[in-house]
Amino acid sequence: MENNMFKPLAITALLFSGHFFSAQVMAAAEEQSPIVEPSPVQESHLPLQELRNFTEIFDRIRNSYVEPVDDKTLLQYAIDGMLSNLDPHSDYLLPEDFNELQEHTTGKFGGLGIEVGIEEGLIKVVTPIDDTPAEKAGIKAGDFIVSLDGEPVREMSLTNAIDKMRGEPGTDIELSVRRQGESELLEFILTRAEIKVASVRGEDLGDGIGYLRITQFQDKSGAELVKAIIKFQNEATEKKEPLNGLVLDLRNNPGGVLDAAVEVSDAFLDSGLIVYTEGRISDSDFRYSATETTVAKDIPLIVLINGGSASASEIVAGALQDHKRAVIVGTNSFGKGSVQSVLPIAGNKAIKLTTARYFTPKGRSIQAQGIQPDVYVEQSEVTAYEQSYYKESDLPGHLSNGDDEVEKEDDHQISDDLLSKDFQLYQAYTLLKGWNVFQHHRLPAAEVKQSASSPEQTSKP
């Protein structure tokens, strides 16, 4: 694996989810005081007139603002504004913010369990995290939080709103929510809890098809995914049945640690480029390639994405799509194709700075474009209609088929709760079943018999 990682800056570059404050990643600093080599930008002359303007405005605010503001606070505001006006993902991290970032990368924090951003002055829910107070209470992606404990969020910064939603487990908070299609505000009372986010969840869908959901890319997501795949393989071997396919669900996954995205991609690829980045300085350019070791090289694979799939999710989807290793199903992804690095500065502070753009193996930039699925499927409910047809077996006195076996009931009905409530997942499941049937029909009779008796044998997608 090639790896050229910002050595002069002595930091590890990581991808951030970006479109909300509480990004699920951190950068590991190798030194507390990194030495930055001079660049042509640094050696250029500063604009003196703009510096005079800044000094004058600073002095006017300090002396004439309706309430006194100390110099330290004003300078911090200036830094905040300088970074936030670059792009939506650059930010100034105070010590508590930096610590919060480190907590998130472990997948454990206190609060309600929602990823949020800001839009039109309101706090917008990007996605509720699975199995958390917010998800259990019915908070949905796209909801706008209007007030917290009766206090309007328009009067809060995103940072303050997040701080207010966090708190000791067991304490309550009231949310007023505006939801599209609802004429009245929705009121929720949520009890804070310790949020332990399992980044990978696996479930057997039946017919030899496994379901893998990654909610966010944490530092152990790659290892958790490999463990889940091996579990599916072992269960298939015990049943003496083949593992016919996997569905990798990256919907509403806002991103996370770059290394985890690479490891997840590497689980399905045994060679080739996974992702590369390009920035203004050479040390922001790096490349990641797949290793020969893989647990799921030949298992048919479908990846689910939607508008909430961002950053690291798009790296995985883009790499598997470019290598034709998976069929991408769903709707267009979010379109965040930039890299953020955390650069420590004095006093346990740091800046989160956009330093590069990332590209898929075929050189596609996803920035503001997103990943387009191979099969476009909007989300909907799976509805089974009552059938009024009569069959031969329903007629009184019908002849038997001459088989001594007990007549079997129809086993093709939608019975699983996960499939019955998720149209996109049901479509992915159906595609994998169809692929398996198609491959089975293509095999000569002798090979079909051998395939059925050899659970280790799988078909390439």
Active site residue 380: no
Note every long-range contact of 51-57, with CB atoms under 8 Å and residues 24 or more positions apart, other chains counting: 54/78
Four-residue CA torsion sign, 277, 278, 283, 284:
negative
Q: How far apart are CA 339 and CA 347, in angstroms?
A: 24
Catalytic residue chosen out of the listed positions 124, 220, 336, 433: 336
User: Which of 322, 333, 341, 459 does the annotation list as catalytic?
Assistant: 322
Closest CA to 147 of 177, 183, 169: 177
Annotated domain spans of the chain: 109-196
Choose, from 199, 265, 311, 333, the residue flagged as catalytic: 311
Read off the amino acid at residue 123.
I
Q: Which fold has domain 109-196?
A: Pdz3 Domain (2.30.42)
pLDDT in tens, the chain (461 residues): 444 333 222 222 333 333 332 332 332 222 223 333 334 445 568 899 999 999 999 999 999 999 999 999 999 999 999 999 999 889 998 887 777 776 666 666 778 988 888 887 788 998 888 788 999 999 998 899 999 999 999 878 888 888 899 888 899 999 999 999 999 999 999 999 987 767 899 999 999 999 999 988 988 899 999 999 999 999 999 999 999 999 999 999 998 888 999 999 999 999 999 999 999 988 889 999 999 999 998 999 999 999 999 999 999 999 999 999 999 999 999 999 998 888 888 878 899 999 999 999 999 999 999 999 999 999 987 676 666 666 777 788 878 777 655 444 444 444 466 788 899 999 999 999 988 877 766 655 555 445 444 444 444 44
Give catalytic status of residue 39 as yes or no: no
For residue 57, what are the CA distances in angstroms to 13, 46, 54, 73, 211? 35, 18, 5, 14, 58
Residue 336 is among the residues annotated as catalytic for this protein: yes
Tokens matching residue 197: 């986010």
Question: Does this model's pTM top 0.75?
Answer: no
Q: What length is written for the chain? A: 461
Q: Quote the pLDDT of residue 127.
A: 82
